[in-house]
Amino acid sequence: MPRTRRRPGLRTLLTALLAGLTPLLAALLLAVPSAHAASLTEVTGFGANPSNLRMYVYRPDSAPVRPAVLVAVHYCTGSGPAFYSGTEFASLADRYGFLVIYPSATRSGGCFDVSSPQALKRGGGSDPVGIMSMVTYAQQHYGADPARVFVTGASSGAMMTNVLLGDYPDVFKAGAAFMGVPFGCFATTDGSEWNSACANGTVIRTPQQWGDLARGAYPGYNGPRPRMQVWHGTDDTTLRYPNFGEEIKQWTDVLGVSQTPAFTDHPQSTWTRTRYGGTGTQAPVEAVSIQGTGHTLPTSGMAARAISFFGLDSTTTQPPTDPPTTPPARACRVAYTTSAWNTGLTASITVTNTGTAPIDGWALAFTLPAGQTITSGWNATFSPTSGAVTARNVAYNSTLAPGASTTLGFQANHTGNTGSPASFTLNGAACQVN
């Protein structure tokens, strides 16, 4: 007689099913983030928003009851979430406890409006009004500190950084612009959002003209002005390098400080950093030129420098890789002579080591007067060719014994200003100028 097979009971089936599901459920539970973990959050209905921006907020778990606010503005074709994931500002917010607002443009091309008459006037409309609504929302709903509001951005976001500091100098305490242009440089009146002359670096103005443009965004305002940090690569072909020098001219004029650097150094081999109106980490204006770099900023470590400039890091000193903020004692002397004609000139520079120790490898930093552009040089390599220039030794003159001198020079074009640089630094040390 054939044996009859018994069908498995319900309890057996459930046991087997649960045995198979348990590892899967455990894996899923492990993959789900903590309910309390900080994350990027979209906020809607945040206030006046004439250009239909989107608002994203990152509030770190480390945020205090009254956090500082950083507005981080993306590049063209980007978005708030892309800038959140592609930059280091969120991780720095985790470390130091500030709130980050990531505006997101929704118009075709993903650029911010930095060109229309509405954008270049306080309360005039367009994107700056929407971004200001985001700041106000953060103060009302997250308890953000109105005395500590900062802005940074890259490319289109850097241009917006310049615009916001002009439109709302009473709101923002400082800005950091990576690859931007001066306030008002991109201005158009035909509805276009692109200004080729500005992008190509051919819009050149005096410091006062640039300063008047920024001041004109908020007529009658006589209060404190925000500090400014600007960054640019010398090989930028999207927003060309001359814009870097024009930004320096604008913000030194707005803040009422000399265009002659108070401090110059090289935090990294390809960086030339100049400070204006002060020598410390939070000088009124700081400018960082990146040799051989295109339209790719910020790169690793640059965001931390911006946070230090803002004062949002918890330390009271510069990052360990920085030199002291007090300029070194003078240990060099520079004699500078020029011979000019029509639209050209030649310059001869004699550098003397007045210290007691030999110098093995040197970099002489100085700022060319506006309108001068180096076309060729000798006995040194010069970069960039205008603005804040650094001349570096060649193999045969790299060592300067105590009391020894070396002479170098260049030929340049000029647009009428044949003057000499106001100051020089050798390896970060200010030099006596004959």
Indicate which residues carry an active-site annotation.
Answer: 155
Question: 197-200: which pairs have CB atoms within 8 A and are 24 or more residues apart?
Answer: 198/239, 198/243, 199/238, 199/239, 199/240, 200/240
| Distance between CA atoms of residues 345 and 364, nearest Å | 20
Name 152's bridge partners. Answer: 72, 176
Token pair 């916001």: residue: 164
Residues in Cβ contact with 404 at an 8 Å cutoff, skipping those fewer than 6 apart: 352, 353
The answer to whether the bond into 384 is cis (omega within 30° of 0) is: yes
Token pair 């960086």: residue: 271
Residue 181, Cα to own-chain centre: how many angstroms? Answer: 11
Residues in Cβ contact with 103 at an 8 Å cutoff, skipping those fewer than 6 apart: 53, 54, 55, 56, 71, 73, 74, 80, 112, 127, 130, 131, 134
| Distance between CA atoms of residues 258 and 241, nearest Å | 21
| Distance between CA atoms of residues 153 and 170, nearest Å | 19
Length of the chain: 434
